[in-house]
Every structure is written in structure tokens, then in C-alpha cells.
Amino acid sequence: MSSSPDMTSSDMTSPSKPLPTMRDTPTVAALQMTSGPDVASNLATADRLLRVAADAGACVAVLPENFSCMAMRDTDRLAIAEDDGRGLAQDAIAALAARLKIWVIAGTIPLRVPGERRVGAACLVFDATGERRARYDKIHLFDVDVPGRGEAHRESANFRPGSEVVAVDTPAGRVGLSVCYDLRFPELYRRLSADGADWFVVPAAFTVPTGRAHWEVLLRARATENLAGVVAPGQSGFHASGRETYGDSMIVNHWGEILARLPRGEGVVTAIFDRTAQKNARGSFPALAHRTLF
């Protein structure tokens, strides 16, 4: 299903498709990459890692932010941007999902926005038949000067921020979509939690200073305060542009416990979400029901 960039539904699951059968103990996977500027080479790596995830029994696998291209320059992403619903990266991931019979949450792919020079940083969800079930455009854009590095980022110069909060049902439960810098804004995850999210994804390309200081604590906080799992695949290592990313891809359960992590290098980590234990925790420790709005 191709969805318009202007869709406003918080759940883009096609009404014509049956909802996925939820598993009580689903295996999920986070894929860590060191992407470069060549899309075809990155897709070959994604192909290899998705096969590893499928062989490990994952029903949902999550790719990192910018998995299809870590560009030499930010403006290069404009040149490789795809039309919504078709393109090299979208077609390849859809075909892989169908071939491997696995749901794939495709980090971010730059998608053209009609009437805009800038593109959307789109996180796309493909089901096990290769059909697209959801699109989320990164809401919070990374316009910062990184402390201690002389490193500056201005994502808003080339990316249009999204405006819609998106959750979608998968075989691993209802997942709330977010990307990288979104992690610093807990109100987004509260919205997703209110929309029934059992777990969140945070595909990322974190800088090393901010990753070292904040990555783990923020992931565990988002999990703990919402009693929700988190799957956070990252870019890792040195890229052709000279940029270094933090990595440390992680899977965290609803109690804030780290189930799996990969500190550096390319690879796959998997873990099992115990949805029965999560349901029991939410029942006996009803913090979500005790929220007071100010």
C-alpha cells in the first residue's frame, strides 16, 4: 500500500488487510550498520543482515536511520531521494520482506515531498508479504552543535519535519515509530503509549559524544516510563564522510532491562519480548493509569 505524505491517520494499517496475529513471545531484531554513500552497497548489507535476523527467528527486524545512504554531504540525500511508493531502496526492502517472510521497519529513506525542495526522513514499515503498512516522517530534526566536537548538524536545511504520530500493529505487538533525535522528547512516546503502543523503535545515527552521555539512559527511560519495549538499531563507526556514529544498538524490555546490545560494528542482535509479563506489569504497576495532565 502506498500512502500519501499528507495522510493524517495515526495508524496507516490498510483496512483491506487482516491484522497480524500477535505473538506472546515474539523475537525482534535490531540491525547495526556502517552505511556509506553508495545505495546499492548499503542495500546489499541490509540484505545480508536481514537474512541473519530471519534465520534467528525474528518476526520483525529494524534497520537503522539512513541505512540506505550515509551521504558525503547532507545535500547528497536530495539527489538520491525517492518518490513515495517506489524507488531502489523501497523496492529492495519490500522484496526482501516478502522473500524472507519477515516484517521490516526500514530505518529512514529520504522521500520526495511534492512542492518542497526538502525531503522527508521516512521510516517505513513493510509486512511479511512486502506490502507497506505505515510511514512515519521524523518530527524532531537535529539542528545542533555537538559539544566538544566542533561538529554541527542542520537537518532542517534538507529535511521537512513530519507532523503525524504513527503506531501500527505487527506480529510483535503494536509499535510506535520514532527516529533518533525524537528520543529526547518524551511527550512523543506518551502519545504513542496512549495510542496503544506495546513497544517503540528508535532507528538512529547518534553522534559519539551524545551517544556516550545519553543513549542508554534515554532508551531505558523511554522504556521504563511507558512500560514498553524499545528496539534501537544504530549506525556504528567511521563513515566515508569522516563522521563517526556511536552504535550500541540495543533491545530493552518494558522494565528497562537491556535484553541485547551490540556496542560496535555491523551485525544483528535479537531478543524476545515477553508480552504476558508486560501485560502483568502494566496491571500490577499501573503507572500509565496514574498520569495527571497539567
Give the Cα separation of 163 and 144 in Å (integer): 20
Helix, strand and coil percent figures for the chain, each rounded to 5: 30, 30, 40
Question: Is 138 one of the catalytic residues?
Answer: yes
Question: Is 65 one of the catalytic residues?
Answer: yes
Q: How far is CA 142 from CA 114, 165, 180, 204, in A?
A: 22, 18, 9, 11
Cβ neighbour number for residue 157 with a 10 Å cutoff: 12
In terms of DSSP H, where are the helices of 118-261?
Answer: 186-194, 208-210, 216-226
Q: Let me know if 226 is exposed, middle or buried by CB neighbors in 10 A (0-12, 13-18, 19+).
A: buried
Of these residues, 59, 69, 123, 180, which one is catalytic? 180
Of these residues, 69, 123, 138, 155, which one is catalytic? 138
Cα 234–199–243 angle (5° rounding)?
15
Catalytic residues, which ones?
A: 65, 138, 180
